[in-house]
Structure 1
Amino acid sequence: MEDLLCKIRDCKVCEDHLPLGPRPIIEATKNSRIVLISQAPGRVVHQSGVAWKDQSGKKLREWLGVDDETFYNPENFAILPIGFCYPGKAKTGDLPPRKECAPLWHEDVWVEMDEVELKIIIGSYAGNYYLRKDLKLTEQVKNYTDYLPEFWPLPHPSPVNRFWRMKNPWFEENVVPKLQDKIAEILS
């Protein structure tokens, strides 16, 4: 696994298309139990090199019901984005993740992991890659039980998505407590 992570972190496939250059963000061990599959790191994460060390990460840890120490232990949570590098800024939010990363690296990562109990799909890009493309994110999240026990779809926790959360209060009222129970069960 360590050799593979080094190869991914040294990847320069998209170098000419990245406004801040390559800085692949990934965390995993052979024994990671939960895998967070999201879109791509944002600018703040690109600069720090620490996955989810931003406002989105703060909200995600709240949804998962874990503290920083638990979250940043790769035996607990692996970080496997669809795009490993910051793709650049869009009109609202960031550009979509680069399309090269997931097909190039994900299968190799899955082969190395033996203990995965849950794959958390975060946002529409990850949902469209791993789940049904014909369903919108809201439908995927509403019907999360259809994807269990392997996957659990979530909206992206970005502050940009606060309007989605306001329009869909059922998510934080009903789904998040069940997710927290599942995370606690896996990590106990």
Structure 2
Amino acid sequence: MARAVGEGPVWDRIAACRLCAPRFAATATRHAPRPVVWFRPGARLLIASQAPGARAHDSGTPFLDPSGDRLRDWMGIGPEEFYDRSRVAIVPMGFCFPGYDAKGGDIPPPAICAATWRAEAMAALPDIRLTLIVGGTAQAWHLGKGPVTERVRNWRAHAPARFVLPHPSWRNTAWLKKNPWFAEEVLPALRARVQEVLHG
């Protein structure tokens, strides 16, 4: 595990991190690091996601896009609750937008980010009662390698402390249509659990 250095709260040190500057400069987007840090102690619900997209990189706010709209709908909450850091923590596997490759595809988040920061970030969140593991990259970190569909279908094995979710990207619209059980079985249970954790 890489060693996180510096002083002050971990969220401030993550925000100042520039470990991946050479890596990002070499991508097709040639962008500078801009960590999107959205957590504070006291949060009860953790969204373990993949990495900020280009819009989050520009705005500094995670899930401020159609994927976020879909995720909030899945959770049954609005933006006000979603962005309340005293209730909801968003800790991705990579805090920065990783960039695009030469073909315009998303580059996976660099492993050094989670290796450097994740343990400290989680140590700052002792009150988490529910973790949403969103997308294949986060699932591989938390659960090891395996097929996303099988994991999501087996959601009861992880509930009520964790829910395993596909990524809410528009790219997964076909998956959602192919797997109607997700909306019929998983989402009602997820919404009930989110309400219990945030308001119970």
Normalising by structure 2, report the TM-score.
0.89
SS at match of 2:163: strand
RMSD: 1.5
Query: Within 5 Å, which residues of 2 pair with 1:1-188?
Result: 3-18=9-24, 19-90=30-101, 91=103, 93-133=105-145, 135-188=146-199
Are the equivalent residues in 2 in contact too, given 1:4–1:109 (CA < 8 A)? Answer: yes
In structure 1, how many angstroms separate the alpha carbons of the residues matched to 2:80 and 2:155?
27
In structure 1, the gaps of 5 or more residues are none
Are the equivalent residues in 2 in contact too, given 1:93–1:160 (CA < 8 A)? Answer: no
SS at match of 1:100: helix
Are the equivalent residues in 2 in contact too, given 1:34–1:77 (CA < 8 A)? Answer: yes
In structure 1, how many angstroms separate the alpha carbons of the residues matched to 2:141 and 2:10?
22
Identity of aligned residues (%): 38
In structure 2, the gaps of 5 or more residues are 1-7, 25-29
Are the equivalent residues in 2 in contact too, given 1:39–1:125 (CA < 8 A)? Answer: yes
* Count of matched residue positions in the alignment of Structure 1 and Structure 2: 187
Structure possessing the higher radius of gyration over alpha carbons = 2
SS at match of 1:119: strand
Runs of 4+ residues deviating >6 angstroms: none
Post-superposition offset of 1:92: 6.7
